Amino acid sequence: MAGEIPVMGWMGRAACRGTDPRAFEDTEPDTRAAASVKAALKVCRGCPVLAVCRDWSMDTRQPQGVWGGMTTRERERARSARVAVRRAP
């Protein structure tokens, strides 16, 4: 994940705490990256703060990485859907 991430209280309860943040990068298009993304998503699956993490990553527009069980592309799609709903008459 790019840059410094401010430590939030819920992060101390995250399943990924203590894990190298590079394990959650999702920017490489090769199959090795795909395998690492699957591994990151598996960590998220059982996380007690999954929803908080997901919401925080959406609210703060985290630019890359797996957050709250979502990849960068999934968050981008979800943000686009939120915008479309807000614009609907």
The answer to whether 27 is a known ligand-binding residue is no
Residue 57 in marked binding region: no
Residue 70 backbone zone (phi > 0: left; psi -120 to 50: alpha; other: beta): beta
Which contiguous run of DSSP H or E holds residue 89? none
Was 47 annotated as part of a binding site?
yes
- In the 8-state DSSP scheme, what is residue 65? S
Residue 42 CA, distance from chain mean position: 12
Residue 71 and residue 52: Cα distance in Å, rounded? 15
86 labeled part of a ligand binding site: no
Annotated binding site: 16, 44, 47, 53
Binding site for [4Fe-4S] cluster, by residue number, is 16, 44, 47, 53
